[in-house]
């Protein structure tokens, strides 16, 4: 890393990350050429870089992968969680090697390039991660130019001018704009994703898409549900026109308080109707806001596939996937809401349920992709309660 006055580009550097505080990180550009501004975070998962890059919850962010050998298994058309990547770019330690996996149909570099996403390789990601841990997730600009001809002062000004995620509603930008049905199930080796797997007589779940990962929908189907997806801005009347047996609140990016301006009144109407409800990640935060709790921006957030969460009902520890930079303040939960799970990393709230109606949520990602499957039971619990 270098401080702001050290604008001199190292020989051969074709990529750069310029933090808003003036820190400059040089490296080897991979993927698409271009410039993008966003928040830099880090992800500790050892696998699943395609799933992470395509997770809509990463909209507005640049992912620093702490595992050094990102990209060595290439890319394929199955390991994606949305139609296209939503992360702005990525920072990795080693320059990705040629693909070494029988499922790959291209290199990670080629995959990034095809989607217009910028990568920066050859970086001391341990030092960058320590900086984020100490100082918090910074705003920054990532840039890749084959010529290496960067206007660093202009990039710094762009990083400093980016407004940050607080107060930013990104759910509308990543949500579907039209309702649709989903009936594909889970992936199995040699068969791929189960198609037309939904139970035609199963309970009907309407999933509100604030930035939906596909594996959430697959798990709902695998648990026996029929699924309809509606936009983030769907009104209570539009949702109830589908005659749901239950409502699901999805993950998503941005500040929950900003998304809550339009989402919270709808969720409150759902709760008042008595329709069972289950939320994860942003959906968990929105449920918290809907019952009167508050949310806050975390110092560094939780992102990875190795986060231990304690289930308070019996003390069981689940290893979970997480991806969030905001959290519900447990001290602000109202009397009809109780904590059900806590993070064993920092004690932050990882789950809640209401005591006077059928509604619960978790901060983590029980669908994984990537990550462990310790928490798949939550989909079965939710869908099973609707029968």
Q: What is the CATH number of the domain that holds 356?
A: 3.40.50.880
Q: Are residues 379 and 322 in the same domain?
A: yes
Residue range of the domain that includes 156: 15-161
Alpha carbons 220 and 206: distance in angstroms, whole number: 10
Please report whether residue 175 resides in a domain: yes
pLDDT at 7: 67
Please report whether residue 1 resides in a domain: no
pLDDT at 352: 98
Q: Are residues 124 and 231 in the same domain?
A: no
Tokens 């010529």 correspond to: 147
Please report whether residue 210 resides in a domain: yes
Q: Are residues 257 and 343 in the same domain?
A: yes
Strands 204-209 and 246-249: parallel
Please report whether residue 4 resides in a domain: no
| Residue 108 buriedness (CB in 10 A; 0-12 / 13-18 / 19+) | buried
Structure tokens at 279: 């939320």
Structure tokens at 318: 């689940």
Please report whether residue 9 resides in a domain: no
Q: Are residues 39 and 131 in the same domain?
A: yes
pLDDT tens digits for 243-263? 999 999 999 999 999 999 999
| Residue ending a domain, choose from 140, 161, 182 | 161
Please report whether residue 8 resides in a domain: no
CB-based burial, 190-216: b 16+ in 10 Å, e otherwise: eeeebeeebeeebbebbbbbbbbbbbb
Q: Are residues 110 and 177 in the same domain?
A: no
Alpha carbons 197 and 214: distance in angstroms, whole number: 14
Please report whether residue 292 resides in a domain: yes
pLDDT at 387: 82
| Residue ending a domain, choose from 161, 193, 220 | 161
- Map residue 380 onto helix, strand or coil: helix
| Residue 47 buriedness (CB in 10 A; 0-12 / 13-18 / 19+) | middle
Long-range contacts of residues 82-86, Cβ cutoff 8 Å, at least 24 apart: 82/54, 82/55, 82/56, 82/174, 82/212, 82/213, 82/214, 84/54, 84/115, 85/53, 85/54, 85/112, 85/115, 85/117, 86/53, 86/54, 86/55, 86/56, 86/57, 86/58, 86/59, 86/174, 86/211, 86/253
Q: Are residues 182 and 131 in the same domain?
A: no
Structure tokens at 4: 């702001």
Q: Are residues 247 and 129 in the same domain?
A: no
pLDDT at 8: 84
| Residue ending a domain, choose from 129, 161, 193 | 161
Q: Are residues 79 and 207 in the same domain?
A: no
The CA–CA distances, whole Å, from 102 to 72, 98, 273, 284 equal 12, 12, 50, 38
Give catalytic residues, as residue numbers: 281, 365, 367
- Map residue 204 onto helix, strand or coil: strand
Which are the contacts of 43, defined by CB distance < 8 A and separation ≥ 6? Answer: 52, 63, 64, 65, 66, 303, 304, 323
DSSP 182: E
Comparing CA positions, the residue from 198, 341, 336 lying closest to residue 272 is 336
pLDDT at 5: 44
In this prediction the pTM is 0.96
With a cut of 50, list the residues of the chain below it in pLDDT: 1-5
Please report whether residue 327 resides in a domain: yes
Q: How many domains does the chain have?
A: 2
| Residue 106 buriedness (CB in 10 A; 0-12 / 13-18 / 19+) | middle
Alpha carbons 217 and 197: distance in angstroms, whole number: 11
Alpha carbons 195 and 183: distance in angstroms, whole number: 7
Alpha carbons 250 and 214: distance in angstroms, whole number: 10
Alpha carbons 6 and 127: distance in angstroms, whole number: 18
8 A C-beta contact, residue 333 and residue 278: no
pLDDT at 3: 44
């Amino acid at each position: 890393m270098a401080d702001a006055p050290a604008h001199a580009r190292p020989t051969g550097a074709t990529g750069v990350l310029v933090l808003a505080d003036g820190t400059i990180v040089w490296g080897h550009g991979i993927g698409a050429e271009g410039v993008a501004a966003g928040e830099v975070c880090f992800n500790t998962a050892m696998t699943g870089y395609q799933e992470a890059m395509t997770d809509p919850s990463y909209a507005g962010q640049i992912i620093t992968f702490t595992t050094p050998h990102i990209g060595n298994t290439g890319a394929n058309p199955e390991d994606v969680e949305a139609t296209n990547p939503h992360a702005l770019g990525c920072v990795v330690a080693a320059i990705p090697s040629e693909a070494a996996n029988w499922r790959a149909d291209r290199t990670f570099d080629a995959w990034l390039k095809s989607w217009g996403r910028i990568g920066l390789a050859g970086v001391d990601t341990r030092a960058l991660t320590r900086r984020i841990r100490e100082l918090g997730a910074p705003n920054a600009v990532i840039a890749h130019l084959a010529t290496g001809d960067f206007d660093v002062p202009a990039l710094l000004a762009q990083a400093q001018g980016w407004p940050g995620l607080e107060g930013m509603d990104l759910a509308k930008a990543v949500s579907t704009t039209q309702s649709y049905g989903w009936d594909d199930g889970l992936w199995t080796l040699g068969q791929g994703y189960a198609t037309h797997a939904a139970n035609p007589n199963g309970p009907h779940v309407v999933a509100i898409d604030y930035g939906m990962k596909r594996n959430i929908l697959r798990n709902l189907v695998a648990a026996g549900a029929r699924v309809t997806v509606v936009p983030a801005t769907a009104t209570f009347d539009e949702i109830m026109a589908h005659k749901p047996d239950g409502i699901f609140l999805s993950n998503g990016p941005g500040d929950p308080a900003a998304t809550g301006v339009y989402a919270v009144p709808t969720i409150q109407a759902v709760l008042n109707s008595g329709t069972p409800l289950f939320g994860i990640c942003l959906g968990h935060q929105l449920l918290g806001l809907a019952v009167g709790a508050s949310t806050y921006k975390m110092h560094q957030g939780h992102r990875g596939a190795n986060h231990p969460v304690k289930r308070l009902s019996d003390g069981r520890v689940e290893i979970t996937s997480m991806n969030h930079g905001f959290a519900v303040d447990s001290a602000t939960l109202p009397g009809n809401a109780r904590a059900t799970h806590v993070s064993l990393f920092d004690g932050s709230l990882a789950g809640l349920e209401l005591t006077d109606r059928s509604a619960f949520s978790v901060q983590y990602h029980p669908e994984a992709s990537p990550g462990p499957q310790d928490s798949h039971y939550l989909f079965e619990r939710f869908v099973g309660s609707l029968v």
